[in-house]
Chains A and B, each alone.
Chain A
């Protein structure tokens, strides 16, 4: 028996792979739910109700989806060009910090129509810069970016902690380390009144569509894919790998920084050290589940947000630790890798 790579993966398999992977992960996590002493099907039902059972839970799930779309796109864009950006978490935080600083009373004081886009741009720029550093180390000194982007997450988080306990500390926060809030003018408009859901969701979905068009239709999209698949051939064809990677890094780091900016402008209004429950790392799973496809990222982000929001409700009702959501999401990544393998190979006897 041996494996043979398929020349062309049929569309049915491309669609079946993520569905099969998620189902397999749910079955495996079901074993853990059973061990925890809860009826599995009822637990999953509770999870679904927790995420979609009421207007409030739906808006919460979509609020959680927003940053995941953006960090998912950040990972997808980079991974397609084989730029291993594992630093989206740090980029998220510096983006959030830049936005909070410039949007606060110390900052720009612009009318919303100009101020809000500018603040988002500032967050994206901060995220991009944080990824350009490890990219420069790779291009100039040949340092593998996997570990450097990862290590910079810790540095970025400590820097944010230093700022919100120092120059940007909110003196009115009862001694809690949190940044000064953004001005009311800078807050993103709500999508649904009396909920936390804001127009950031539409921005994220819009960006996913734009990215899909860019990747499918433009020269840059083609070249960044070629740079990832076969750098030698791309270089031979006259593509500047360095130029492509710099642009990919600006895009990837920018999207992660924007995720932080939008979380501040839309949800929290200030930065704390627990602003992100791992959005940067979860974005990697989102991107893989989506098969690195920008439109798939939207669906994958909804799935992951459903798990996290739903797990809280399930945890309260069934007594299963809410960490089960993290288990399901990380297991989905592993089963997705296997599913992608099975889809792209054919077993020959």
Chain B
């Protein structure tokens, strides 16, 4: 019988951590970019659902796996554009619009899925992304199995976190996004168009959310089922706060969160039926609330988050 602490010594745990963290990382980075430009995007849960379906559908219809990722990104971008148009030029409530996008994107997803794939006993499957063998690294004892035993999108997500951290902090484009999220009027005074920057940020961020959903159907699993996002989007919103709106901390947060999730799955086998399994399943959500609680006071929120920008109005 495996002991609760022995779980940490299994390479399988760490491989699972990276796998579980990937969709969360895509989603958190996406939400983070939107919020850094001053727009809260609660459409994430629906956008991830749509991305998961449209990515899977593309491959199911004979497309390449990367074409599936691209389709999910474009689908996410389309919903992002809708959210951006409603909240940025029109200045509608970001809370309510985002929820509307979530409801609309998920119901459209189920509608399209039911229309295209006939109801059957077992859901149809595709051949998902295979583990990318990195010569040298993947062959290392333990480390190779624990860390370098992933599919390509996982490496992409980690690279993206690092690139975005650099881009936000060190490039003119990143500076523009940050100023627009802090003080759009100051940005305008410097010749930046806050409306354009916000729309672009929401579209780009939402594309990442779509890819996060597609990871679930194209890499973690090989089929689509309607309830598969299971609140991951909302967890991403909490992770953005935990990350204090910084991409490198989003990487840390997603990994930490995935560690708890992977650990509780294995702990269930150790503890067996002595503890109701629902208690374990509650942990991710309670952990998200705890993360919000710890970080709420310390984190520096983008000052113009959720404040609509209108020219000439203060």
Q: Which residues of A contact B (CB under 8 A)?
A: 32, 35-36, 79, 84, 86, 137, 141-144, 146-148, 150-152, 154-155, 158-159, 161-162, 165-166, 281, 284-285, 288, 321, 323-324, 326-327, 329-331, 333-334, 337-338, 341
User: Would B104 and A144 count as touching, CB distance under 8 A?
Assistant: no
Chain B residues touching A, range: 35 or more
From A147, A166, A329, A341, B90 is in contact (CB under 8 Å) with A341
Query: Considering only CB atoms, which chain A residue lies closest to B89 in the complex?
Result: A3
Name the distance in Å between A78's Cβ and chain B's nearest Cβ: 12
> Given A150-B234, A333-B103 in contact, is the A137-B293 Cβ separation under 8 Å?
yes
CA distance A258 to B296 in the complex (A): 32
| Chain B 81-108 interface residues, beta-carbon cutoff 8 Å to A | 82, 86, 90, 92-93, 95-97, 99-101, 103-104, 106-108
Task: Collect the chain B residues with CB atoms within 8 Å of residue A143's CB.
Answer: 289, 292-293, 296
Query: Considering only CB atoms, which chain B residue lies closest to A326 in the complex?
Result: B107
User: Would A323 and B107 count as touching, CB distance under 8 A?
Assistant: yes
User: Would B292 and A147 count as touching, CB distance under 8 A?
Assistant: yes
User: Would B278 and A338 count as touching, CB distance under 8 A?
Assistant: no
User: Would B86 and A323 count as touching, CB distance under 8 A?
Assistant: no
Query: Considering only CB atoms, which chain B residue lies closest to A138 in the complex?
Result: B296
Task: Collect the chain B residues with CB atoms within 8 Å of residue A326's CB.
Answer: 103, 106-107, 110-111
- Give the interface segment out of B15-23, B121-129, B174-182, B279-287: B279-287
From B99, B107, B279, A86 is in contact (CB under 8 Å) with B99
From B90, B111, B234, A151 is in contact (CB under 8 Å) with B234
Name the distance in Å between B229's Cβ and chain A's nearest Cβ: 12
Classify the secondary structure of A's interface with B.
helix
User: Would B289 and A151 count as touching, CB distance under 8 A?
Assistant: yes
Does B42 belong to the interface (CB within 8 Å)?
A: yes
Q: Which residues of B contact A (CB under 8 A)?
A: 42, 82, 86, 90, 92-93, 95-97, 99-101, 103-104, 106-108, 110-111, 114-115, 231, 234-235, 237-238, 241, 276, 278-279, 281-282, 285-286, 288-289, 292-293, 296-297
Q: Which 8 A-B pairs have the closest CB atoms?
A: A326-B107, A330-B103, A321-B114, A162-B278, A330-B104, A323-B111, A333-B100, A158-B278
From A137, A165, A334, B104 is in contact (CB under 8 Å) with A334
User: Would A151 and B238 count as touching, CB distance under 8 A?
Assistant: yes
Query: Considering only CB atoms, which chain A residue lies closest to B234 in the complex?
Result: A150
Can you report 22 A-B residue pairs in the complex whose CB atoms are below 8 A from each other? Answer: A86-B99, A137-B293, A141-B297, A143-B293, A146-B95, A151-B234, A154-B234, A161-B278, A162-B276, A165-B276, A166-B276, A281-B99, A281-B103, A284-B99, A288-B96, A321-B110, A321-B115, A323-B114, A326-B103, A327-B104, A327-B107, A333-B103
